[in-house]
Structure 1
Amino acid sequence: MHPELDVDKVTPPPARLTGFLYHTPDVMPSLLLFLATTMLLVYSGLKTLDRAEAPIDFGIFAIITFSIPVILVSYLVSHISWIWDGRYPVRYGLQAGATGSLLMLIAIVIGDYFDEPSKGLAFGFGCMGGLWYLTLRTHGSAPARIAFPLSLISPFISVYYFWYGESMSEFNFGLLATIALAFASHFFLFLIDSPYKKAVGVSGTRHMSAFIDHFSTGNGRRLTEAIREICQTFETKNGWISIRKKGETVAFLAIPGIHPGPLGELGGSNLPVKIDPVLPGLGFAFHGATTNDHNPLRDEDITRIGKAIVNASESADYSDYSSATVMEGDTPSAYAIGIGNGTIIFVKPGDSDDILPELAARLERPSSNPEGVRLMIDLHNQEGWGRSPLAAGTKEGAMLEISAFKALKLSQSLTKGKLMVGISNMPGEDLGRGIGPGGLRVLVIEIASSSDSQQGQRTAIMLWDANGFAPGMNKELQDGLKGMADSILLASTDNH
């Protein structure tokens, strides 16, 4: 009995790829495939090889010589692969044997064309050795020092029983071909692996083996370990706004400093759904400042970020005063809402997709009010896709900075009033309409003040779990919702 492999029970294996698994044939189909190709090889040998045995004797001898070494080596490797923390089911060896039989069949046909079928078969055994080496490295995670001798066992046995003592020239040629092609396979992998290892710092062959293991079996332990080997420490700025009623959180606005999608252990997205379980009350996963469509984190990191911002909210100072919503600029435009001693800056983009952290830092810098906290939220309501991210120093970025500065300055001059908040949500996924599993979530902020200009000023923020809006949708929604609130901010999570 081999010892149990160490399994990380905390981190789940990659899940997003599970639906795309391609399960290779099981043991019995693999065995039937191997036997079928072996019979074709034996038939080809009967027709082309000039052997002294009777046809029946040669058939039995060839079947044993071609098949038994492959089966024995497959069984051997499957039972010792735990030594190097690898995995090599018997079906891998049978599938390699079937492929090798086809290669030997082709080699015999080519050799027969040049009146050297025996040399062709000997070269085919060499191909089998190279194939064994490749599968042991890429499927079985075997290191080179182990894969090389194991790859020689099956071809050497077959070559020995087929030609030793009868045709030493074919015997020697078969041995040399096996060693040469096994070495060739090694250097082939070396040439592929070297640039990857130089760039990333770890073996690409081992990562390839982890991918194959996951796709063929669904076991993601090695793949998770492989990804962790190339992980780097990543620091991100995350914002949050907690809304409480009688000491209980009823809504939580999360602004992670990471892109909502792609996200996950190997792709996928759905950040709003992944962070929502750890957010108290009704969660709002707003789009913050991020790099465009790039996310180096995994699901477990999102959970960690969510728990961190929720813990921070427990010791925060709360206020029930706010100032009215101020809007500056056309497109791009900035909305400023003062809450307590801080300000939320909602940004409506123009011809861009995502706001880079450098520009967001400029919008949030407390130059005029060093004590206040500013949080930027990207409404991400641009229409259409395929745009570049908005960076500092660009024309649109400069326009946005000016608009944000004016909005902040005006917001700070307003009299603050009593803060009233309403929340609602419409759950459900409608992929045909571009809406993700987070559905639609609505936050309404109303400011009550003694000033007539601000009396009952109401702002509605509508957050769709979607990737931007379709052409003309902003105007259509604004026209349809006109009169429902003084200001209507349309936003999407950028989930895709």
Structure 2
Amino acid sequence: MLPLFYAISLGIILGLRLLVLVAIADYRIPRMILPAANQSLTGVVMGVFLFSKNFLLLALVLQVFFGLGFILLIWAIDRPLYRTFQIRGLDFLNSFLAHLTDGSRALEDFFRKIGEEVTVPQVTIFFRRPKKKGLILTVPNVHPGPMGEIGGGNLPRGMQAGFQEMVMVPHGAATHDFNLVSEREIEKLVQAVAGSTRDLKFSQDATRSVRYQHGSVSILCQVFDETLLMVGTRSPERTEDLDFNIGMTIMSEGHRSFPHVAFIDAHNCYAGDMTYVLPATRLAMEYYHAGVRAIDETPLMERFPFELGISHVQVPFSREQGFGDQGIQMAVVKAGGQTTAYLLVDGNNMEGGVREAIRDFLLQSVDDAEVMTTDSHVVNTISGKNPVGLHVPVSEIIPCVNDALCQAMADMSPAEAAGSTAWCEGIVVFGSHRITQMASTVNTILLFIPVLSAGMLFLVFLLSILVYFMIG
């Protein structure tokens, strides 16, 4: 029986090498058969000298059996994704591994195949000051994912590259369904925002900031001439992605009083899962009612000339530690004797309690403050969990926040603001429910592949024994 087991082991080696090579090198099986077979064929040659003359026929037949068995297994792995999305699962895996190892952007080609075009509003507030650097606060309603440099993963840096002013890019209302499929889509957003500057009407008027609470939702609001700025959070409870339709509903309600409504999801409390806030749920209605109250009351607030101070601090922390390329940005607004700080950290959410610790520190110097993240997925490669504060204690973050605050306060000067709403057309995103469909397909594959693999190996073993006795 020793020749049989030796021949079986060579067949398994062939199959496993073929499976690994199509997964990490080239998904096209014909190109990988010879590289996969060279080791097992060498073993066959050695076996000819060790065993009887019938071993050559036995080994070659088993090589064919195991090769065909693993080819069928590879086909079964590949087929579900191809039928659903017209993409090759193992080719997708090739590209994913290439991204991890050498930064390849081949994944973007797959995302573009499954993507769909959308039109989304992007509200921007432009601030200008005499003889000082301006600020662009722009709220894209797309998602800065899916990971690393792929797609919109580094959206904040991409937006900054398009303008001379300091650009703050907080998170809008969007889930992973609105992930940009390619970095090239960022340029479309930049062009849309730049195009919205043609008819800007600047004003020195701003209200004091005011906070509205409904249930677990708190929204910090401030009006700049005809633009309403809203920053929503549920921290210290989970504050994750809001469905696009929730943001659109609040913005549409706001158009009763304001031409431009910038709604920001502060995205500042990671609480162990990444459940989206979906339309018509209790949480969605809390956001809605808090927003409607703000929309009803802020038009009546008194306006004042305002001052603005800005700062941009590069932090001594890496992407692996949860901080993106834009570091920490701050805008401090003083209107009617009240000072409000808007702090934006380039990262994907915050550990629970980090927002509160930073905000408490800021409130020692200002009247109100909100701490936001960009939701940049440049800090994520394999895992989606890498919030600010997970790897770096908040005690080490606060000195950077203090630097940003001191610089912004020293930078205060009279300012003017103007709002715009750019309709960004032809933006290619993953598409509605694509993430859910893909996850469901992959889960199905993972469910049946172990059973299929075991059945295939059992059948091949039986055939191997049958062939052994027929030849032997």
Q: TM-score range by the shorter chain?
A: 0.5 to 0.7
How many angstroms apart in 2 are the aligned matches of 1:480 and 1:326?
19
Instruction: Choose the corresponding residue for 1:493, options 337, 362, 374.
Output: 374
How far off its partner does 1:255 sit? 1.3
Q: What TM-score do the two structures reach when normalised by structure 1?
A: 0.61
Is contact 1:352-1:389 (8 Å) kept?
Answer: no
Is contact 1:251-1:423 (8 Å) kept?
Answer: yes
How many angstroms apart in 1 are the aligned matches of 2:159 and 2:10?
55
The 3 A distance-change label for structure 1 pair 353 and 483 is closer
How many angstroms apart in 1 are the aligned matches of 2:143 and 2:168?
15
User: Comparing both chains, which one has the higher relative contact order based on Cα–Cα distances under 8 Å and sequence gaps of 6 or more?
Assistant: 2
Is contact 2:143-2:180 (8 Å) kept?
Answer: no
1:178 aligns with 2:63: yes
2:213 maps to what in 1? 329
Instruction: Choose the corresponding residue for 2:341, options 443, 460, 479.
Output: 460
Identity of aligned residues (%): 19
How many angstroms apart in 1 are the aligned matches of 2:275 and 2:129?
41
1:438 maps to what in 2? 326
Secondary structure at the residue paired with 2:340? strand
How far off its partner does 1:194 sit? 1.9
The 3 A distance-change label for structure 1 pair 445 and 224 is closer
Instruction: Choose the corresponding residue for 1:200, options 85, 92, 96.
Output: 85
How many angstroms apart in 2 are the aligned matches of 1:438 and 1:155?
52
1:410 aligns with 2:291: no
Cα deviation 1:144-197 (Å, max 9, x = unaligned): 456568877997798689869x96643432332232222222212122222232
Instruction: Choose the corresponding residue for 1:400, options 257, 278, 287.
Output: 287
The 3 A distance-change label for structure 1 pair 321 and 387 is same
1:254 maps to what in 2? 138
Secondary structure at the residue paired with 2:65? helix
How far off its partner does 1:250 sit? 1.0
Q: How does 1:64-463 map to 2 (within 5 A)?
A: 111-112=1-2, 117=3, 119-123=4-8, 126-127=11-12, 130=15, 133-134=18-19, 137-138=22-23, 141=26, 143-144=28-29, 169-211=54-96, 218=102, 220=104, 225-226=109-110, 228-233=112-117, 235-245=119-129, 250-260=134-144, 262-265=146-149, 269=153, 271-291=155-175, 296-297=179-180, 300-301=183-184, 303-324=186-207, 325-329=209-213, 331-350=216-235, 351-354=237-240, 355-366=242-253, 369=256, 372-382=259-269, 384-386=271-273, 388-430=275-317, 436-447=324-335, 455-463=336-344
The 3 A distance-change label for structure 1 pair 380 and 169 is closer
How far off its partner does 1:379 sit? 2.7
Is contact 2:230-2:262 (8 Å) kept?
Answer: yes
How many angstroms apart in 1 are the aligned matches of 2:220 and 2:346?
21
Secondary structure at the residue paired with 2:183? helix
- The AA in structure 2 aligned to 1:358 is N
How far off its partner does 1:315 sit? 1.4
2:450 maps to what in 1? none
How many angstroms apart in 2 are the aligned matches of 1:230 and 1:269?
18
How many angstroms apart in 2 are the aligned matches of 1:148 and 1:427?
50
Q: What TM-score do the two structures reach when normalised by structure 2?
A: 0.64
> Which protein is richer in strand relative to its size?
2
Give unmatched runs, 5+ long, in structure 1.
1-110, 448-454
- The AA in structure 1 aligned to 2:198 is S
How many angstroms apart in 2 are the aligned matches of 1:274 and 1:352?
28
The count of corresponding residues between Structure 1 and Structure 2 is 371
How many angstroms apart in 2 are the aligned matches of 1:184 and 1:335?
61
How many angstroms apart in 2 are the aligned matches of 1:151 and 1:327?
64
- The AA in structure 2 aligned to 1:199 is T
Give unmatched runs, 5+ long, in structure 2.
377-386, 388-472
How far off its partner does 1:339 sit? 1.9
Is contact 2:211-2:218 (8 Å) kept?
Answer: yes
Is contact 1:336-1:404 (8 Å) kept?
Answer: no
The 3 A distance-change label for structure 1 pair 429 and 262 is farther
How far off its partner does 1:265 sit? 4.6
Q: How does 1:3-22 map to 2 (within 5 A)?
A: none
How many angstroms apart in 1 are the aligned matches of 2:372 and 2:72?
54
How many angstroms apart in 2 are the aligned matches of 1:478 and 1:134?
52
- The AA in structure 2 aligned to 1:342 is T
How far off its partner does 1:364 sit? 0.8
The 3 A distance-change label for structure 1 pair 122 and 239 is same
Cα deviation 1:412-434 (Å, max 9, x = unaligned): 12343434322223332347996
Secondary structure at the residue paired with 2:125? strand
How many angstroms apart in 2 are the aligned matches of 1:463 and 1:423?
11
The 3 A distance-change label for structure 1 pair 349 and 179 is same
How many angstroms apart in 1 are the aligned matches of 2:42 and 2:364?
86
Cα deviation 1:219-273 (Å, max 9, x = unaligned): 8365554555444445544332221235986111121223345534559955434
The 3 A distance-change label for structure 1 pair 189 and 309 is same
Secondary structure at the residue paired with 1:364? helix
How many angstroms apart in 2 are the aligned matches of 1:444 and 1:195?
52
Secondary structure at the residue paired with 1:329? strand
The 3 A distance-change label for structure 1 pair 271 and 123 is same
Cα deviation 1:123-162 (Å, max 9, x = unaligned): 5555565466546644553644565688779977986898
- Out of 252-261 and 468-477, give the one that drifted further: 468-477
RMSD: 4.2
Secondary structure at the residue paired with 1:238? strand
Is contact 1:327-1:335 (8 Å) kept?
Answer: yes
How many angstroms apart in 2 are the aligned matches of 1:364 and 1:442?
24
- Out of 236-245 and 383-392, give the one that drifted further: 383-392
2:379 maps to what in 1? none
How far off its partner does 1:289 sit? 0.9
How many angstroms apart in 1 are the aligned matches of 2:358 and 2:249?
31
